[in-house]
Amino acid sequence: MPGHPARVDHEYRRCGTVNFFVAFEPLTGQRTVMVTERRGNAEFTAQLQALQLRYPGATKIRLVLDQLSTHTPAALYRHLVPHDARRLARCFEWIYTPKHASWLNIAEMEWSVLERQCLRQRLPTQEAVERELSAWETERNKEAIKVEWQLGTVAARLKLKRHYPQLE
């Protein structure tokens, strides 16, 4: 209005979102990041197929997953014929972190590093996100940054005793 200073609102404009899956091998320091538009069953199935192709000679691939509803063998049956879904599901050992203990998930820790080192900037397109994540993944894999998990079974049971049933 005339006679009043101009007011400018610096409101955040969300221009879309993307999802990414992080697969991390803590003992070798290798990781794989896959960017997708969504995080549904189809994308999760594609991620598992890619992991199975990456390790064709593996007898079992151990997955440590959070409790997200799409992170189950049932997701495979929604997008593959039953025979293929069963075959793929059997390639994996499915281990779930307790609902309120995501800090146990090493991929979550790796995601935290990724967020601090790569994602604290505005990335306007999915292609920009893919480019940044690819560069980050390449550098981390080249450095082979490993995780040596030091929380043993006894310490974990003590720390998480409220999540276990009490036996009388």
- Nearby residues of 151 by Cβ (< 8 Å), 6 or more positions away: 104, 159
Residue segments in the chain with a per-residue pLDDT below the cut of 50 = none
Residue 101 DSSP SS3: coil
Rounded Cα distance between 60 and 91, Å, is 5
Rounded Cα distance between 111 and 109, Å, is 5
Q: Residue 43: name the closest of 16, 20, 60, 13 by CA.
A: 20
Work out whether strand 92-96 and strand 19-25 pair parallel, antiparallel, or are unpaired.
unpaired
- The reported pLDDT for the residue numbered 92 is 94
Residue 27 DSSP SS3: coil
Domain 19-163 sits in CATH 3.30.420 = yes
- The reported pLDDT for the residue numbered 49 is 95
Rounded Cα distance between 151 and 81, Å, is 40
Q: Where are the domains of the chain?
A: 19-163
Q: Which amino acid is at 73?
A: P
